[in-house]
Chains A and B, each alone.
Chain A
Amino acid sequence: MEILVCVRRVPDTSENEITLNSAGNDIERDELVYSINEADNYAVEEALQIVARVGGNVTVATVGGEDDEEILRREMAMGANHGVLITDDAFNGSDGKGIATILKAFVQKGNYDLILTGVQAEDGGAQVGGMLAALLDYPFASLVNSIEAVDGKKLKVSREIEGGNKEISEIDLPCVLSIQTGINEPRYVGMKGIRQVASIPVPTFGVPELAIDASTVGAAAAKVTRVDYFVPALGKGAEMLEGTRDENIEKLLELVAAKGGLK
């Protein structure tokens, strides 16, 4: 099976405290730790596991800039066969539909049976996978938490629905699936693995290679634009206990007892 996994490099929320910049119009991006979007990493692992069972190749692709190449190499170190950087100044400022339009053009250059994305990016809207599927007229399933290859023509997939229940469906290939975190246990990637793939070329694709109409992507085509970031004042917030640790423990236990929690 030929599998394409669309990935993104994002600020890592487990490593960073996200704050506003001094102008208040963006997050403070200096010294942010970036990594592959968590759900995308699960998607790559899933692709590798499928290929290990039924054969085939895994390609990872991202729409971005030079800095994003590092996550492609990371996923290649995990075992992805190819990494592709889709980059062009004309792509800057694309909204979700713009990104999906670019990816559609890339998909049509290849011959993929299955396209995976992460369910959602840290700063995204769970949108590109579903849009890409609709642009390609492929079937789509979101929030996928298990995949079983039935035969060369279809898959059996499970979606995570309310209450931890699973919705099981059959889906025709080629299709697009958005992968939920927790579907597998992504393998560890060490520095050694990344060094081993350092010399493998990562081809780039831009407007000429994709033969894309530049007016359909980028800032000018975007119907959806982020105006600014802000930190909302939500209610009055918690009463913060600011004593010593011992004092905080005493107070906490007092409160728990008062609320009927300690017997």
Chain B
Amino acid sequence: MPRIFVYIAHRNGVADDSAAELLAAAKKIDAAASPTAIITGSGADLDGVCSTLRASYREVWKVANEALAYPNAELIRKALVNIVPAGSIVLVAHEHFGIDLAPGLSIKTNSAFVSDVLDIAGIEGTDLKVVRQEFGGQVSAHVRCDISSGAVITIRPGAFKPLQSTPFSGTVVDKSADIGVLTAGRRYLETVVAEAGDVDISKHNILVSIGRGIQEKENVAIAQELADALGAAVSCSRPVVDAKWMEKSRQVGSSGKTVKPKVYLACGISGACQHLAGIKGNPFLIAINKNPKAPIFQVAHVGIVDDLLEFLPELTNRVHEMRAVAAK
């Protein structure tokens, strides 16, 4: 079996949640593997992360360089090409950094590339079989990947459950001297923090969340009326923001906000993983969708197959009636 490396991102001295998930993925590829973690950065933050990860990785490769204080994928790719032995498997989380780094890394290491992997189905000789999702999660696919000259694999966040294991005391190996000269055609300037918006959806107990199924901007009012009746806020999935029907601050998902309501009413939302990633705290999830095959029904607690544009106004009317009765 090829040696397995895991690239772990970190922020403010804390390793990304993917650290444990990538370890679980590596173990599923090869139960006998002792994967090596690679951490890049600079200063005390980097040392802190390395020392934490020693508890779960037998070997932690530390790459310290001022130029890597901010994770620039092009610089990190060049560093990895210089230190990772040919033929290795490299795992990285499938989020904005992994998407930036991994495809180019596979080219420069002449290895196979598979992205956004949800599961490992098995290995036969040099053929690794993995599971991916396509078409917004409507179907899954088995994909065969020839790892004879190594592989770069991005792993979907949340897909692999961290393993329970007793902490041990791994070794930190300083690889900083081996990374070569780092220059990049892309230079980080600054991070612009998202605008807060008029409504903070992360603070509501009930969310009436709308997706592509709302069909047009004028129909957002239908969801707003229901939200007003329920004392809820309206949130949405990515296509609604892309179409400029709602502000970005209302978007739930990995590229939007993380929410923790008690009740989440998913209206016309198909249930893409990037959307679900923004829903935390296991809320009671009710899905209304006219497509009975929508992936959202696989994760919802309760599902209703109906036309939103008719169902929601009737639901709103019923809430008003109940309120009127209660007020008497």
Contact = CB atoms under 8 A, between A and B. Distances in A.
Contact of A260 (B149, B205, B241): B205
Contact of B192 (A17, A165, A234, A262): A165
Interface centre among A119, A122, A159 (most CB of B within 10 A): A159
A219 to B, nearest CB: 12
B115 interface: yes
B262 interface: yes
B186 A227 contact: no
A249 to B, nearest CB: 5
Contacts, number: 256
B293 A140 contact: no
Interface centre among A126, A168, A235 (most CB of B within 10 A): A126
B281 to A, nearest CB: 12
Interface in B279-295: 284-287, 291, 293
A196 B134 CA distance: 35
Given A13-B135, A27-B135, A241-B303, A182 B314 contact: no
Interface in A124-180: 125-131, 133-135, 138-143, 156, 158-172, 175, 178
Interface string A227-242: 1111110110111110
Given A162-B96, A262-B230, A126 B318 contact: no
A225 interface: yes
Interface stretch (B18-26, B30-38, B56-64, B100-108): B100-108
A232 B302 CA distance: 19
Contacts of A19: 139, 293
A122 B284 contact: no
A234 B299 contact: yes
B184 A228 contact: no
Nearest to B312: A249
A192 interface: no
Interface residues of B, number: 92
A227 B305 CA distance: 32
Contacts of B203: none
Contacts of B104: 130-131, 133-134, 140
A53 interface: no
Given A134-B107, A163-B194, A164-B257, A140 B186 contact: yes
A208 interface: no
Interface string B170-207: 00000000000000111111111110000000000110
B103 A161 contact: no
**Interface majority SS (helix, strand, loop, mixed), chain B:** mixed
Nearest to B121: A227
Given A241-B303, A256-B284, 12 more contacts: A18-B134, A27-B139, A97-B107, A140-B186, A166-B194, A168-B190, A182-B238, A231-B139, A237-B300, A252-B286, A253-B315, A259-B262
22 contacts: A19-B139, A125-B116, A133-B104, A135-B107, A139-B184, A143-B96, A160-B255, A168-B189, A170-B189, A228-B142, A230-B139, A230-B141, A232-B140, A237-B298, A238-B298, A248-B306, A253-B315, A255-B302, A260-B263, A261-B232, A261-B262, A261-B263
Interface of A: 11, 13-14, 17-20, 27, 96-97, 100, 119, 122-123, 125-131, 133-135, 138-143, 156, 158-172, 175, 178, 181-182, 185, 223-232, 234-235, 237-241, 245-246, 248-250, 252-253, 255-256, 259-263
